[in-house]
Structure 1
Amino acid sequence: MANKMTTKVDGNVLTVEREFNAPRSLVFQVYSDAEHLKQWWGPRGWEVTVCKIDFRPGGVWHYCMKCNDRNQGDFYGMESWGKGIYNHIVQNEKIEYTDYFSDAEGNVPEDMPASDITLIFEEHDGRTKLTNIARYVSAEALQAVLDMGMEQGFSETLDRLEEHLEKVKA
């Protein structure tokens, strides 16, 4: 794909930007609707098997990704649960939430880093620039998730988002 994401690390903040050939309202919609998220969220070889969203400030997004790619070795069959709590939403412009690792019941492990996420959706000539700003409690917490392969996984997730947007627009 020609339009890859750019990343910048500044202390405890990771900023990711990527442009999509889709209107802002559509990019916002596929980030805020469970049926859309199930189609693209997560790295390649993983599928979203559970996705519940209460899309409002104070609402919760709880999901499970499961590795269905036998070529990923020990990851095959593994589940990875996540939980987001929405803090602030401006329709078609911004989503702010706190992102956590979790278990199937939504419990948050104390030993895994959480982050405060700000998603900014900007439209220019029918294209949308998505800016994802993730703030961690410390530079070490950010480094821990980078060491887990989060950057590659998120790049693949955004590739899948682009592919999903093309299908939805067709």
Structure 2
Amino acid sequence: MAGNKETSDLKTSVEGRNLVMERTFAAPRELVFKAFSESDQLADWWGPQGWQTENRTFDFKPDGVWHYCMRCVDKEQGDFYGQESWGKAVYKEIDAPEKIVYSDVFADEEGKAVEGMPEVQVTYTFLEQDGQTKLKAQNQFASEETLQAILDMGIVQGFSSQLGKLDNHLKRAE
């Protein structure tokens, strides 16, 4: 499975069990990195449009845990309204302001991984380009089949929506 696509300002490519998504922001790298590394900022924009994020735990350091809940607060989203989606990330590597690496799983309210749901290894790279920042998200799954299942769940559309919220957050933060 391989392919390249562009959704709004988001460029995506699939190679084997890896999904790469890239977008450039009109903001300095340090500002974009802080949006990922400070709990209040991350909660302000993380999740697709119409969803709000609560950070239950946020320990931004290697081996630190980020346990969060995204809740749909948009009545226009029909059956999704009121739903919760819990996740848990464990940070593996942090090289400010250039890179963040973590593992991410679907979790329950207590932070236990949900059985049968995939784990993804995520690497964010923040590249400075003439006062702008190119964000590269590399997502590695256990298999091509797992990646396909996540693609079918709408990861690209959700991430694109989420990065739209990040763009608005960065404009307010400047």
Q: Which moved more, 1:104-113 or 1:45-54?
A: 45-54
Distance in 1 of aligned mates of 2:98 and 2:82 = 36
The one-letter amino acid paired with 2:34 is Q
Distance in 1 of aligned mates of 2:12 and 2:82 = 30
Task: Choose from 100, 105, 111 the match for 1:100.
Answer: 105
Task: Choose from 136, 150, 155 the match for 1:150.
Answer: 155
- Name the residue aligned to 1:29: 34
Unaligned runs of 5+ in 2: 1-7
- Name the residue aligned to 1:54: 59
Distance in 2 of aligned mates of 1:148 and 1:49 = 22
Q: Which moved more, 1:55-64 or 1:45-54?
A: 45-54
1:62–1:106: 8 Å Cα contact kept in structure 2? Answer: yes
- Name the residue aligned to 2:173: 168
SS of residue matched to 1:141: helix
Question: Within 5 Å, which residues of 2 pair with 1:71-82?
Answer: 71-82=76-87
Identity %: 50
SS of residue matched to 2:163: helix
Q: Deviations over 1:11-36 (max 9, x none)?
A: 11000000001110110011011100
Query: Normalising by structure 1, what TM-score?
Result: 0.96
Tell me how far 1:52 sits from its aligned partner: 2.4
Question: Within 5 Å, which residues of 2 pair with 1:7-22?
Answer: 7-22=12-27
1:101–1:114: 8 Å Cα contact kept in structure 2? Answer: yes
Task: Choose from 102, 123, 137 the match for 1:132.
Answer: 137
Tell me how far 1:149 sits from its aligned partner: 1.1
1:12–1:139: 8 Å Cα contact kept in structure 2? Answer: yes
Q: Deviations over 1:71-92 (max 9, x none)?
A: 1111110000011000011010
Tell me how far 1:49 sits from its aligned partner: 2.8
Query: Normalising by structure 2, what TM-score?
Result: 0.94
RMSD: 0.9
Distance in 2 of aligned mates of 1:29 and 1:70 = 31
Distance in 2 of aligned mates of 1:127 and 1:149 = 27
Distance in 2 of aligned mates of 1:118 and 1:50 = 20
1:34–1:51: 8 Å Cα contact kept in structure 2? Answer: no
Instruction: Find runs of 4+ consecutive structure 1 residues off by over 4 angstroms.
Output: none
Distance in 1 of aligned mates of 2:54 and 2:128 = 31
